[in-house]
Structure 1
């Protein structure tokens, strides 16, 4: 009798295929199904030797190949395709079976699917998976959310499939409902900011100092050996060092038009709903949007010509200042992302363990970085951390980087180089540390035109000035 599979994977594009191979390599039997059967055949033909696969040509055969209670991972495009697959799959399932959405779904969609399937006695897990195609195969960071009991059923598999750092799997139960996909969404938002900051550092070195791609590759390699050590810094050096068939740097031939799949926009929109000042991530999203308006930019370049800065030779101190600006702004991006998760945990009743989130982001995922160990330690204490920048290590790091950060922002403004993430991060930092800012005037203006009231420093309660009447102040 054929041994039943431990796990089913539906959707065998690159991510789904690599997750299936990952599970098989770890000793689990994997049932395979794809709407177009050729992908199933190709996977088995090329990688069938890696483990125990059970390919199926139809849903009935796919489900029948799985041990009960069945565990099925869906790896299809977010949105309606997920709902369509679930609708097709549910009639074949039994009470207690588990469906996992491993794509980048919007967390509110995950909440809805969780409740819908719960009413049908099917358990649903929304699981963020980070690491790209390499991570899916070699070990990603995995962020599952749903019912803890359902997670207990899949835990032996996903913790073995996940990346391992210091013997700890980069996978843990995140929280109920859509919590797992929410944390993955914020992860992707931080990724947007991180990448934008890197491109701004690149632009400064190229435009102001005239460094070519190989020279910048060497700079990023050096930065990886210090506090900026991260996967994104590592692959930046690799991209800058790559030459194409002409022998020239590949990066110089790539169209400067960034694409996006929506997770950054979702992060920014949710921050607005929660009232979290997510400036770095939001500016990174806008920067991608502006880059995509290439036709408009080409037109504007003619009407508003950019004056190329006179060549300046980059000194070690200049590059150190850019490094410091990058590091300080990166801290701000993470601080804002973790503040957003704190607010979401309170708003949605999730009780997120942010120290555990930092722990599972240390390996496998795109934003893995050396200083996630510091973030884990910061949120691992019993005390409530209101903002990551106020923790001793990060406070000292930002204070140390501040002179270079300010110098770089000033330099960019002087030479007309756009640095939306650097500058907004610095403005956030300056606004955060002001005991008294200018919003008192703003409240006065709101009261003048809309009678929105204001509070006073010296008295309790709310007040309104009768601006267009007798000018008297009344307590309301």
Structure 2
């Protein structure tokens, strides 16, 4: 089948290549001239045969909203727009309702796999009607990982792909996935810090590498931590500043709205906020209070000698 793909960055470019390797035609558009196959959205739509499938893989928020709005004016009844970025699930119904006024379908696709997806495949969580998902299914099949096998050699159904529900369900599932990812990374980071803080353990990278086989905490994230430590054993070349792209915040917001306790994910989100403070106001207040009620010592800020 044909696929129009808008956004050919690290993820989008690799996704286009994986879909091509599966035998499908991809017409790509990007703001960067060196990456694109056509020079405009109009040309992209014109290069596709109806019914068209156009996958949007641009940053969430205004870039995605503007792209979907532009596609509404260019596409026709029976076409489908797929948002494969990390959009907030509440945006999906707005997009779907707007496109529906012209009979254009909409599918939201949560995509996980990062820069490794070209070779390993992408885990896909999609939302939309059965009819619209079916129009995109050949592309989903090309992008998802090969089906794993159970102990009998039979393929495990459903692994790497799920039609999670109606419009919005795909991005909601990806949001929760990323919230869990926050907590897992935080736990690995804290474990690494404790190992590195004691004199007893002489080979911290070796300990972490030993966990990748036969333990209950093995995972792809742990493999990536091992890789990072192989490249930089003391992690001396990076700072402890960690961004958040939105999904962790949204997960915690939904936990509050639905009264679902999420202490681990919430703490991992707040830890990222703390990572951006060289001199945390919170901890200064805590130190001051400890001094006030218990006489505990405080560490005064060092002042340079003007001489």
- What range describes the TM-score normalised by the shorter chain of this pair? 0.7 to 0.9
Q: Partner residue of 2:76?
A: 94
**Which of 243, 257, 262 is matched with 1:278 structurally?**
262
Pairing of 1:324-339 with structure 2 (within 5 A) = none
C-alpha displacement of 1:136: 4.7
Q: Report whether the alignment pairs 1:67 with 2:49.
A: yes
Structure 1 residues 211 and 240, CA gap change in structure 2 (3 angstroms): farther
Q: 1:129 to 1:196 in 2, by over 3 A?
A: same
Query: What is the TM-score of this pair, normalised by structure 1?
Result: 0.56
Task: Pick the aligned partner of 1:236 from 221, 225, 243.
Answer: 225
Task: For 1:108-127, list aligned pairs within 5 A.
Answer: 108-127=90-109
1:224 to 209, 212, 227: 212
Q: Distance in 1 between matches of 2:200 and 2:238?
A: 18
Q: Which has the larger radius of gyration?
A: 1
1:448 counterpart residue number: none
Match of 2:152 in 1: none
What's 1:383 paired with?
A: none
The SS at the match of 1:155 is: helix
What does residue range 301-380 of structure 1 map to in structure 2 within 5 Å? none
In structure 2, the residue matched to 1:16 is 12
Contact map agreement 1:146 1:177 (CA 8 A) in 2: yes
SS of residue paired to 2:236: helix
SS in 2 for 1:67: coil
Q: Secondary structure at the match of 1:252?
A: coil
Q: How many pairs does the alignment contain?
A: 278
Alignment partner of 1:143: what SS?
Answer: strand
Ranges in structure 1 where 5+ consecutive residues have no aligned partner: 41-54, 244-248, 305-476
Deviation track 1:337-364 (CA, whole Å, cap 9, x = no partner) reads: xxxxxxxxxxxxxxxxxxxxxxxxxxxx
- Cα offset, 1:137, TM superposition: 5.2
SS in 1 for 2:218: coil
* Structure 2: tracts of 5 or more residues without a match: 150-157, 289-307
Aligned with residue 29 of structure 2, among 25, 33, 39? 33
Find the aligned partners of 2:231 and 2:73 in 1 and give their Cα distance: 50
Using the TM superposition, give the Cα deviation of residue 170 of structure 1 relative to its aligned residue in structure 2, in angstroms.
1.1
Asked if 2 retains the 8 angstrom alpha-carbon contact of 1:22 and 1:138, the reply is no
Shift in Å, 1:119: 2.2
CA distance in 2, matches of 1:123, 1:7: 15
Deviation at 1:296, TM superposition (A): 3.4
RMSD: 2.1
Deviations 1:373-401 (A, max 9, x none): xxxxxxxxxxxxxxxxxxxxxxxxxxxxx
Report the alpha carbon displacement of residue 209 of structure 1 after superposing the two structures with TM: 4.3
For residues 237 and 216 of structure 1, the distance between their equivalents in structure 2, rounded to whole angstroms, comes to 10
Query: In 2, Cα distance between the equivalents of 1:23 and 1:237?
Result: 30
Shift of 1:88: 1.5
